[in-house]
Chains A and B, each alone.
Chain A
């Protein structure tokens, strides 16, 4: 894995549109019926940003015997594979996504490797051309015409890493603000950027002031295309159960500590338009459909790959009901 430290962010050089948006405004934007309807096309791709906590705490071994860093690498690779597969057509790739991944420990590093090492945003073609490792499996599928053995490939781009002595999450988010402010200027008609932050939940660069952290997240979420505000998904690794897109009613049972609570608050509300699609993707994992439908779920995921969230971005006739991964 390359370790290309960013010299510095250009935070402050580009002014975010409208500055920090109050929570209520962000919530109302997310719940607006007029946004989050753009289709990802080759002319209007969607930005996928993945941010990975690489601090030493990610070295912790979970109950399943695997480190948080290893689980994180699996989550990231699953998201990237889903992005690649969504763009794969029989006649080639369609560039529906612009992708970037950076890790944060003490420093912020873009973690593309090999030929991608000098890149920031990459295309889907570059993603495909730079698979680092492939795991092959033979699976048996039941088809209408009997059982068939089929080859399955799992691709890897990112390896586990957890050597940072601190967790510069705020700095990473500020960097994300800068790159997305530039991106939306060039892609104002696109579906809003989707940011996946994978962490065990504790920024160390906020001086203990959680409001500072919240303000940074609000700034990130205020970056908008014409189709709506950036969606911030926090994927949290804990010893608890898998929880997908919790609502306010889930709060008492999910928060292990104040950091989890603040990550919950910092995350986007799931936009109104995406609720039905999301429910169809994750209905097996959503414990109470009535609560889910009547309340406002947050873009938070505990202990899950949740790569199927990419299916919220429409690239054609919606097929998620029948095709969503479990």
Chain B
């Protein structure tokens, strides 16, 4: 695989939806001139709101650009992207094709999760922050036992179940509390996988089924109890097996990828829009 490249994939939920135009997930990946990598994922929520797909795309295309991630600057960034989105929709007369659409936009706004991952290959660091149930998995190689283990799962610590109502960004309301951003040193061979909720929950179930003790420190007691009680229909996979599975997924062509997703759905993946990314860190 190409050095420093982040592999991304997104697909609409082909069980319940008609085509890619209904995919409310969005993923963007940029590499700046100074080799900084920026990955953004957003999951537009279909349950309420309108223009969720456009909102999710808008968020991923307008990432937070400050070096330091803190609440005040995050609030400023969010206020700015929210206003830009509001203006974009309301100033384009083609958007409100009927009064019902305008009414729903004004009443409910637009909903999406957000996850941003900034990788600095020169400094060997990664910073990630987000809002909602779009998740990042960081795996690290343990040379003592020659296997990968979970180094972090973000943000999941305070969830009680995999069906918690996700926190969602809406252009029409300020964020009360951002989850704590996280910065980590990266080591050669570290693997970062991120995914929107359907796929992320699938991976959590696989990891829990494989070794619940290994997952316990990354989740709440309530989530642990939920997973214990849940009827698991997924095949257990070790971190290493998951990494190989995802790596193989990205080596497939699009037709093969759909077949793979269908196979996962037969083994416990809930039909949903699917967005998945994969990155293996190599020191420059």
State the A residues within 8 Å of B (CB): 39, 41-43, 84-86, 88-91, 128, 139, 141-145, 148, 150-153, 276-277, 280, 311, 314-323
Contacts and interface: CB of A to CB of B under 8 A. Distances in A.
A53 to B, nearest CB: 29
B35 interface: no
Nearest to B167: A322
Interface stretch (B138-146, B168-176, B275-283): B168-176
A58 B173 CA distance: 40
A264 B107 CA distance: 33
B83 A318 contact: no
Nearest to A40: B16
B101 A90 contact: yes
B73 interface: no
Prevailing SS type, chain A contact patch? mixed
Nearest to A322: B168
B93 interface: no
Interface of B: 16, 21, 24, 43-51, 53-54, 75, 78-80, 82-83, 86, 95, 99-104, 106-108, 111, 163, 165-168, 170-175, 197
A144 B51 contact: no
Contact of A153 (B50, B99, B165, B173): B99
Given A144-B83, A145-B83, A150-B106, A89 B165 contact: no
Task: Say what secondary structure dominates the interface of chain B.
Answer: mixed
Contacts of A39: 16
Contacts of B78: 144
B45 A319 contact: yes
Given A144-B171, A320-B165, A90 B50 contact: yes
B108 A148 contact: no
A317 B100 contact: no
A320 B165 CA distance: 7
A317 B21 contact: no
Contacts of B43: 317
A181 to B, nearest CB: 27
B47 A319 contact: yes
Contact of A148 (B47, B86, B167): B86
A43 B18 CA distance: 11
A156 to B, nearest CB: 14
A314 B166 CA distance: 14
Contacts of A276: 163
Contact of A141 (B83, B103, B167, B172): B172
